[in-house]
């Protein structure tokens, strides 16, 4: 059997035919512990290759060396779903040659599969692989669980390279991505820092405000009419969202409600709901903590799914289209229920849609949970700085001062009122936020486009402009 194993990353780059002006891709399942993207780009720099576009499903602070590669002209374009603070700040100040293309977690695989976002060479960080490229994220010292975001890259790139730190004998039997999509395999000492890949436990909030919000959220879900046998649900890893999930579990167990599936980035709290009989299955596109990694490795009801299966708008069907309820966060939300999760109050890039707008579009009830203010800044505003998720797909805003319902959803407003929940108009929440913190001042932005926010259907949703350097 001819092995696909090559001696190092530079050899894989040479064999791939990577040249100036091409596109390389990475996934983000190793999160803030990822070492592969920087490892590859450092080799690219040393080989003298320039003017590359990097298509990476998310960028974290561990990718801060990208700033240097951008300044040197090694990276001139970025396509992604999320950008963390340090890299986002530099891009907001205008260092990147081309505007960032922001997609959603569903829009990214859709555009890769449909040829709108072609990849020349995909580099797949794999916690375990055999010499032919059968690989998984469930095993090894750098185990991250699901590899859901990497499938489209591996399957549709012109050349696909697996980079692993746990090479096992052929055949790896419990694989995620199959050998028939892989051209080369590289074994390195370390692909990631375990402490940055997953946390030991993602914890619910203990903040009294967050707990009030979580209680209101769980009660609103109960009152919505959607909480019944067959119920499907997604929540994020934020403290208030996790608390809401815990309260919801209590309701489901008390009422003996058995849901169909939990979805998304999976935490230990969702694993608990599966194990306690609240759901028949978990659909996992990304593991957020060690409990989720262990569960997906051992429980056949905890299933790995691709990003396309999760949220692609052009797939024949996707899991978000069957969601009953999703709980989401917000940096800002305006009186038209538009949500910003891309920028901070000063206009700096510090996030991205991820699956935010995908799940909001698909779910029967999209719920935003947020305090009225953060760092003395109001969350509810007249107009968001950046439209990440359009207001016509957002149904409910839950705060510590009450619950606002989109006028498009009078059915929910009536149900919440009948249940005795504190329903208020969103304008009232805006006024309360301003009384507490003062009116939000709009930042002074430049006229250079630093990012384009692409909606899941491929249309331009918004444009982000540079923050002038003082």
Does residue 447 have a pLDDT over 70?
Answer: yes
Residues 148 and 28 in one domain: yes
23 inside domain: yes
Does residue 51 have a pLDDT over 90?
Answer: yes
Does residue 470 have a pLDDT over 80?
Answer: no
87 inside domain: no
Residues 314 and 398 in one domain: yes
* % of the chain at pLDDT higher than 90: 94
- Mean pLDDT lowest among 157-166, 245-254, 432-441: 432-441
The mean pLDDT value for 443-463 works out to 97
Residues 175 and 262 in one domain: no
358 inside domain: yes
Residues 143 and 241 in one domain: no
Does residue 459 have a pLDDT over 70?
Answer: yes
Q: How confident is the model at residue 14 (pLDDT cuts 50, 70, 90)?
A: very high
225 inside domain: yes
455 inside domain: no
Residues 301 and 345 in one domain: yes
Residues 254 and 301 in one domain: yes
181 phi and psi, to 5 degrees?
-100, -5
Domain ends where: 197, 217, 237? 197
Residues 42 and 182 in one domain: yes
CATH of the domain at 46: 3.40.1080.10
pLDDT at 366: 98
The mean pLDDT value for 375-403 works out to 96
393 inside domain: yes
Count of structural domains, the chain: 2
Residues 412 and 270 in one domain: yes
**Segment 195-253, tens digit of pLDDT:** 899 877 778 889 999 999 999 999 999 999 999 999 999 998 888 999 999 999 999 99
Instruction: Please give the residue range of the domain that contains residue 133.
Output: 5-57+105-197
Does residue 376 have a pLDDT over 90?
Answer: no
Does residue 1 have a pLDDT over 70?
Answer: no
Does residue 440 have a pLDDT over 90?
Answer: no
Does residue 159 have a pLDDT over 80?
Answer: yes
Residues 15 and 152 in one domain: yes
- Mean pLDDT lowest among 16-25, 102-111, 237-246, 322-331: 237-246
Residues 296 and 438 in one domain: yes
Does residue 435 have a pLDDT over 80?
Answer: yes
Q: How confident is the model at residue 2 (pLDDT cuts 50, 70, 90)?
A: confident
Domain ends where: 197, 229, 253? 197
pTM above 0.95, yes or no: yes
Residues 225 and 112 in one domain: no
Residues 136 and 175 in one domain: yes
The mean pLDDT value for 303-313 works out to 98
């Amino acid at each position: 059997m001819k092995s696909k194993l090559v001696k190092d990353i530079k050899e894989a780059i040479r064999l791939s035919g990577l040249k100036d002006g091409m596109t390389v891709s990475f996934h983000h399942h190793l999160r803030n512990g990822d070492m592969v993207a920087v490892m590859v780009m450092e080799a690219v720099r040393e080989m003298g290759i320039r003017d590359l576009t990097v298509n990476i499903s998310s960028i974290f602070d561990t990718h801060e060396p990208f700033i240097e590669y951008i300044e040197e002209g090694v990276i001139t374009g970025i396509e992604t779903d999320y950008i963390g603070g340090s890299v986002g700040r530099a891009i907001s100040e205008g260092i990147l040659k081309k505007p960032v293309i922001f997609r959603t977690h569903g829009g990214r695989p859709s555009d890769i599969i449909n040829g709108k976002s072609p990849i020349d060479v995909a580099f797949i960080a794999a916690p375990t692989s055999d010499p032919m490229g059968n690989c998984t994220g469930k095993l090894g010292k750098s185990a991250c669980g699901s590899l859901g975001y990497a499938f489209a890259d591996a399957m549709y790139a012109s050349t696909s390279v697996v980079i692993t730190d746990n090479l096992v004998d052929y055949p790896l039997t419990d694989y995620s991505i199959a050998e028939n999509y892989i051209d080369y395999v590289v074994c390195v000492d370390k692909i990631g820092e375990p402490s940055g890949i997953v946390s030991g436990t993602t914890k619910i909030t203990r903040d009294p405000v967050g707990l009030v919000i979580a209680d209101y959220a769980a009660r609103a879900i109960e009152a919505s009419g959607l909480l019944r046998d067959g119920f499907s649900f997604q929540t994020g890893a934020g403290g208030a969202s996790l608390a809401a999930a815990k309260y919801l579990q209590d309701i489901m167990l008390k009422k003996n409600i058995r849901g169909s599936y939990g979805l998304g980035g999976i935490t230990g709290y969702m694993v608990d709901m599966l194990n306690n009989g609240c759901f028949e299955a978990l659909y996992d596109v990304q593991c957020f903590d060690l409990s989720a990694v262990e569960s997906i490795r051992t429980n056949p009801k905890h299933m790995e799914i691709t990003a396309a299966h999760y949220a692609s708008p052009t797939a024949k069907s996707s899991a978000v289209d069957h969601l009953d309820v999703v709980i989401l966060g917000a940096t800002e939300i305006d009186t038209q229920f538009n949500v910003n999760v891309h920028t901070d109050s000063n206009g700096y890039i510090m996030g991205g849609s991820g699956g935010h707008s995908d799940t909001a579009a698909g779910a029967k009830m999209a719920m935003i949970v947020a305090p009225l203010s953060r760092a003395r800044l109001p969350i509810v505003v007249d107009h968001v700085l950046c439209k990440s998720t359009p207001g016509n797909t957002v149904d409910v805003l839950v705060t510590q001062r009450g619950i606002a319902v989109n006028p498009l959803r009078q059915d929910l407003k009536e149900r919440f009122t009948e249940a005795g929940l504190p329903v208020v108009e969103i304008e009232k929440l805006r006024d309360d936020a301003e009384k507490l913190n003062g009116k939000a001042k709009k930042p002074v932005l430049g006229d250079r486009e630093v990012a384009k926010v692409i909606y899941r259907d491929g249309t331009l949703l918004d444009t982000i402009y540079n923050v002038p350097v003082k």
